[in-house]
């Protein structure tokens, strides 16, 4: 791909015990059927944390109170380049529900490579699994 511009996306890892919430891309969307961490594109002149809070409110109907940056990955799809940041959501209010029709599920962190995560999310999976293996708590 020759175009050096990219789409900047933030995603949230919501964890409980050894599970993490993932969302399935709905029909009609780019990479439909693949699994990803919930989130979305940054608006113009929006900070990553503000975008994370807005996107998770829109998608999951939760209010994020605290989150910490975990990692980022640049991925080239045939038709687009994506910069994806993963934030570990450490405190939120509400029960995650699908506001936009996407299928949600709690998946074992150790099984994420087997569920069909999107290629751009694979490096994020590695970082989340490494953090989990290190014994650092993923939630507050």
Which domains, and CATH codes, for the chain? 7-133 (3.90.79.10)
* pLDDT of 72: 95
Local structure of residue 138 (DSSP, 8 states): S
The encoded tokens of residue 44 equal: 């113009």
State the average pLDDT over residues 66-94: 93
**Per-residue pLDDT tens over the stretch 17-31:** 889 999 998 888 877
Q: Is the pLDDT of residue 51 over 90?
A: yes
């Amino acid at each position: 791909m020759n175009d050096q511009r990219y789409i900047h996306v933030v995603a949230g890892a919501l964890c409980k015990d050894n599970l993490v919430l993932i969302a399935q891309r709905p029909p009609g969307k780019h990479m439909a059927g693949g699994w990803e961490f919930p989130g979305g594109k940054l608006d113009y002149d929006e900070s990553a944390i503000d975008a994370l809070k807005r996107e998770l409110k829109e998608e999951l109907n939760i209010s994020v109170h605290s989150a910490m940056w975990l990692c980022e990955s640049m991925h080239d799809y045939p038709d687009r380049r994506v910069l994806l940041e993963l934030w570990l959501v450490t405190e939120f209010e509400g029960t995650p529900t699908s506001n936009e029709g996407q299928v949600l599920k709690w998946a074992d962190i150790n099984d994420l490579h087997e569920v069909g995560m999107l290629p751009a999310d694979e490096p994020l999976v590695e970082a989340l699994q490494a953090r989990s293996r290190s014994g650092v708590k993923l939630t507050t």
